[in-house]
Amino acid sequence: EIVLTQSPGTLSLSPGERATLSCRASQSVSSSYLAWYQQKPGQSPRLLIYGASSRATGIPDRFSGSGSGTDFTLTISRLEPEDFAVYYCQQCFSSSYTFGQGTKLEI
Amino acid sequence: QVQLQESGPGLVKPSETLSLTCAVSGYSISSGYYWGWIRQPPGKGLEWIGSIYHSGSTYFNPSLKSRVTISVDTSKNQFSLKLSSVTAADTAVYYCARQQLTHFDYWGQGTLVTVSS
C-alpha cells in the first residue's frame, strides 16, 4: 500500500497570502493518479485537482497542482476566506486508493 | 448535474451488518464509470472502502475486503454497500461517489453510521 504523508498538519495564514501544501508518497506515484480535495466542516470532499495538475470543473485558477514521483504540491496563490478548510491528497495504484491524513488550512 | 444520496440505518449493533444504498440521479449508472464507497471516522481522514463497475465487477480495500460486499442495481440506478461484523471502529460518515479511473469527482452528502449496542 502506498502511504501519503501531508505536511504541514496545520497551516495558519491570512487572506491574500499564498498557501503551499505538500503531499509525499512512500513510493513513486504516476502523476496521472494524484488528486487533491477540499473539505469544509460538515460537507463532503470536493475535487480540486486531478492528474496532479488539472483543475476540476469550476475550480478557480488560484488553485494549482504540481509535482511528480513522490513529491506533490497544492498551491493556492491568493487565499480567499472560503479557502480555509482541510485539504487531502489521494493516489491510485494497482486498483487501490489511499488518501493523505489531511492539512488543515486555518486563518 | 450528477447527484448521489446515501441512505440506510444510522445505528448498527456490534457484530451485525451495516447496509447502505446510494441513489444516483442525473446520470445512468449503466452508461459507465465506476462507483465507490469512502468513509471518514469522526474527526479523522478518508478511507476508500471499495468500488464497483456498472457491469458488477468489484475491487476492495485489502484491509476490509473480507467483510465488504458492493452490488449495483442498474434498474433502480443505485448501488449498495454491506459491511459485516461491524465494531465501534466502523463508526464513520459513509460517502458514495462517482469514480473516474483515478479519482472521485461527484460525492454524496454522506451519512453517519454509529456502531453501538
Q: Does A67 touch chain B (CB under 8 A)?
A: no
Cell, residue B41: 471516522
The three grid cell numbers given for residue B11, joined into one nine-digit string:
445505528
Tell me, yes or no, if A46 comes closer than 8 A to chain B by beta carbon.
Answer: yes
| pLDDT tier at B15, thresholds 50, 70, 90 | very high
Using one digit for the tens of pLDDT, what is the confidence trace for B50-91?
999 988 899 999 999 999 999 999 999 999 999 999 999 999
DSSP string, chain B: --EEEEES-SEE-TTS-EEEEEEEESS-GGGS-EEEEEEE-TTS--EEEEEEETTS-EEE-TTTGGGEEEEEETTTTEEEEEE-S--GGG-EEEEEEEE-SSSEEEE---EEEEE--
Q: Contacts of residue A1 in chain B, CB cutoff 8 Å?
A: 62
B79 touches chain A (CB under 8 A): no
Does any CB of chain A come closer than 8 Å to the CB of residue B62? Answer: yes
Instruction: Say which range, A14-18, B16-20, B41-45, B54-58, has the weakest mean pLDDT.
Output: B54-58
Chain A: closest CA distance from residue B43 (Å): 10
What is the pLDDT at residue A1? 86
Q: Report the length, in residues, of chain B.
A: 117
A4 three-class SS: strand
Write a three-state SS string for A56-78.
Answer: CCCCCCCEEEEEEEEEEEEEECC
Query: Which residue carries 461484523 as its cell?
Result: B85
Task: Give the Cα separation of A94 and A102 in Å (integer).
Answer: 22
Averaged pLDDT score across all residues of chain A? 95
Look at residue A2 in the predicted model and tell me its pLDDT.
92
Count Cβ atoms below 10 Å from residue A74 Cβ, excluding itself: 28
Q: Measured on CA atoms in the order B115, A39, A75, B97, is the torsion positive or negative?
A: positive
Give the model's pLDDT for residue A80. Answer: 96
Q: Which residue has the cell 461517489?
A: B97
Q: CB-based contact (8 Å) between B48 and chain A? A: yes
Confidence grade of residue A104 (pLDDT, cut at 50, 70, 90) = very high
Chain A interface disruption, residue of B1, B37, B103, most A CBs within 10 A: B103
Locate the chain B residue with the closest alpha carbon to A30. B102
Q: Which residues pair with B115 in a beta bridge?
A: B12
